[in-house]
Amino acid sequence: MEDLKTIIDFLQSECTCYIVDFLPRKMSGSQFFELEDYLLKTYIEDFAAKISSIVIRLIHYYPSKIFIVEPSKKDDTFYKDYLDKDLRDEPLSEIDEIIRHTIIYDVSSLQILIKDSDKLSLMSINGGFSVDFYSGSSEVLELAMLLVDNENLYVRKADVS
């Protein structure tokens, strides 16, 4: 598991971060929080279904591994059978359920490693509307962008701080 954390840390520090979002451009301030609060009540389940669809299609193009980072809410027992193991070989219905649960209940994060030849990419699903993509492969990034577009979502580079 330590090797996994090292790989994730490396990809997050060395690759450009792309945000998968329901907005085409960054929005901030009270207008954003009002919109996000509304969408958390009315749209989060649709967003979760779209992200799940993207992941399920993406992992069929490339070898991949899916890991849960320990749940942030210790009383959430949903993940008890999934911790510390690669979930890629679980039935697609379970992968879908895990992705949706993570997004809707914002209790953990999923780290999806995607391998294209010798290049790695990472899709990080952090609960709520927080989905990031780090790619060492332009081919994987291009496909991810097509899948995101197909779900009527948006991809943009994260602001560099």
Tell me the per-residue pLDDT of 62-99, one tens digit each, with 9 for 90 and over.
999 999 886 665 556 777 778 778 999 999 999 999 99
Among residues 108, 113, 112, 31, which one has the least CA distance to residue 77? Answer: 108
Supply φ then ψ for residue 99, to 5 degrees: -60, -50
Supply φ then ψ for residue 53, to 5 degrees: -60, -40
Tell me the per-residue pLDDT of 133-153, one tens digit each, with 9 for 90 and over.
999 899 999 999 999 999 999
The pTM of this model reads 0.91
Per-chain mean pLDDT for the chain: 90
How many domains does the chain fold into? 1
Name the pLDDT band for 108 (thresholds 50, 70, 90). Answer: confident
Tell me the per-residue pLDDT of 32-58, one tens digit each, with 9 for 90 and over.
899 999 999 999 999 999 999 999 999
